[in-house]
Amino acid sequence: MYAQMVDTGAKRVRAAEEMDADERAFQERIDRGVKIEPKDFMPEHYRKTLIRQISQHAHSEIVGQLPEGNWVTRAPTLKRKAILLAKIQDEAGHGLYLYSAAETLGISRDQMLADLHSGKAKYSSIFNYPTLSWADIGAIGWLVDGAAIMNQIPLCRCSFGPYARAMTRVCKEESFHQRQGYDIMIALCRGTPEQKAMAQDALNRWWWPVVMMFGPPDEQSVHSAQSAQWKIKLFSNDELRQRFVDQTVPQAEYLGLSIPDQALKWNAQRGHYDFGQPDWNEFFEVIKGNGPCNRDRLATRVKAAADGAWFREALVAHAAKHQAPQAQKAA
Amino acid sequence: MSSEWPLWEVFIRSQHGLAHKHVGSLHAPDAEMAVNNARDVYTRRNEGVSIWVVRSADITASSPGDKAPLFDPARSKVYRHPTFFPMPEEVKNI
Ligand SMILES: [Fe+2]
Ligand SMILES: [Fe+2]
């Protein structure tokens, strides 16, 4: 997902008897469904885990602009270009909502950005894949934003107030992202055989990376139990992955595209699709920094921050200059 | 020089006649830029007709620890609500 394999600092979930009074009261609050707000008591691990999760999520929104930005100047029509720009602008906003939510936990935005630029903080594996054709823009909106929605809707009910509120804002905007992507796919699939082949090629390349977005299988997810108890993760990786596959297969059928998974089959008994496993080695390699675009993505972010530094500083200097006479007038 | 911009809280009036409502926060070097950024971040879909921005540092908030002394006294004063006074069926317009 946009936050993957978030370290909770816990090897196992602690029972109520092992918690001190504050911690127990905190957990009981969460169990009752009461939101935790920034000034409330919270265990240090909860705070740190949330900083990791929310900042990773924010970084994903920001870095996620890059693969799509690749096609702004080459969008097929002015209308598609304006739509893509608006979508990318939304993602910048999502990053901002999330950085603000993380800041309420006592970390500055500059610190979070420094952690991203140094490689200490992660962002979603999915944004380390290249966008080779216009159809990739369709596939990203349809599949990547579709997968993100699946994860973000439950997070609107998560235990931390600022995160839940940021997610509510984000979810209101995501549906546009998914639909504009599917709309691109429809146009290509109703077009020439070459255009339809382009759509199929994009689906072939994006399918498995998207399936991986949900993170490793549940039995390998050591930190999920703690995050579930804290209600900052509401469904397991495998549950969300299943839902995504079930939802997406009919959408691919409508387009007349085939999903590149030999094992994909409707299971009437379960009432779900059975499907194959992605190459988890590839996933762990991408997470480690060895995906097709990791170096390029990070270098682009670092360069943008460095190139804009003089301008950000000039604005501060301008503000300081204009504040001084005002302060004098007030005195 | 540090480029860390101060934090601002953003309030939006969604329609004429309604109060401004807190919608979130953002960083900006000064008030003018804060309004510009708030326009871009919080009103891209006609969410507002007016924007207020306030430096976060200028806000004084009550602390969760003071909840009992601040808000408990109101609990025992149910007579402040009209429903405290049952009115006879026959009496109208009250
Ligand atoms: Fe987003
Ligand atoms: Fe999106």
Report CB contact under 8 Å: B7, A103. yes
A169 touching chain B per CB within 8 A: yes
Report CB contact under 8 Å: B64, A39. yes
Report CB contact under 8 Å: B61, A86. no
- Which residues, in sequence order, are CB contacts of B18 under 8 Å at separation 6+? none
A90, A91, A92, A97: CA torsion to nearest 10: 90
Interface of A with B in 301-330 (CB under 8 A): 309, 312-313, 315-319, 322-323
Report CB contact under 8 Å: A322, B30. yes
- Which residue from A39, A100, A103 is facing B63, i.e. has the nearest CB? A39
Interface probe for A, chosen from B10, B27, B53 (most Cβ of A below 10 Å), is: B27
Per the DSSP assignment, residues forming a β-bridge with A36 are A160
Report CB contact under 8 Å: A316, B25. no
pLDDT computed for residue B1 by the predictor: 42
Interface of A with B in 182-241 (CB under 8 A): none
Report CB contact under 8 Å: A315, B29. yes
pLDDT computed for residue A330 by the predictor: 59
Report CB contact under 8 Å: A316, B63. no
On whether the CB atoms of residues B42 and B21 are closer than 8 A, the answer is no
Give the angle B27-B28-B30 at the CA atoms, nearest 5°.
Answer: 145
Question: Which pair of structure tokens corresponds to residue A208?
Answer: 């498995």
Nearest alpha-carbon partner for A54 in A179, A159, A129, A130: A159
Q: Which residues of chain B have pLDDT under 70?
A: 1-3
In angstroms, what separates the C-alpha of B14 from chain A's closest C-alpha?
15
Three-state helix/strand/coil letters over chain A:
CCCCCCCCCCCCCCCHHHCCHHHHHHHHHHHCCCCECCCCCCCHHHHHHHHHHHHHHHHHHHHCHHHHHCCHHHCCCHHHHHHHHHHHHHHHHHHHHHHHHHHCCCCCHHHHHHHHHHCCCCCCHHHHCCCCCHHHHHHHHHHHHHHHHHHHHHHCCCCEHHHHHHHHHHHHHHHHHHHHHHHHHHHHHCCCHHHHHHHHHHHHHHHHHHHHHCCCCHHHCCCHHHHHHCCCCCCCHHHHHHHHHHHHHHHHHHHCCCCCCCCCEEECCCCEEECCCCCHHHHHHHHHHHCCCHHHHHHHHHHHHHHHHHHHHHHHHHHHHHHHHHHHHHC
- For A166, nearest residue in chain B (alpha carbons): B24
Q: Which residues of B touch A (CB under 8 A)?
A: 1-5, 7, 24-27, 29-30, 33, 40-41, 44-45, 61, 63-64
To the nearest 10 degrees (0 to 180), the angle between helices A44-63 and A109-118 is 70
Report CB contact under 8 Å: B24, A169. yes
Under the phi-then-psi rule, with left for phi > 0, alpha for psi from -120 to 50, and beta for the rest, what region is B88? beta
φ, ψ of residue B52 to 5 degrees: the values are -115, 140
In angstroms, what separates the C-alpha of B77 from chain A's closest C-alpha?
25
A96 touching chain B per CB within 8 A: yes
The owner of tokens 């146009």 is: A187
Terminus-to-terminus CA distance in chain B, angstroms? Answer: 66
Q: Which residues of chain A have pLDDT under 50?
A: none
Give the angle A252-A258-A262 at the CA atoms, nearest 5°.
Answer: 125
pLDDT computed for residue B35 by the predictor: 97
* pLDDT tens digits, one per residue of A17-64: 778 889 999 999 999 999 999 989 999 999 999 999 999 999 999 999
pLDDT computed for residue A11 by the predictor: 67
Residue A160, burial from CB neighbour count under 10 angstroms (0-12, 13-18, 19+): buried
Count Cβ–Cβ pairs < 8 Å, chain A vs chain B: 54
In angstroms, what separates the C-alpha of A190 from chain B's closest C-alpha?
30
**What pTM did the predictor assign?**
0.91
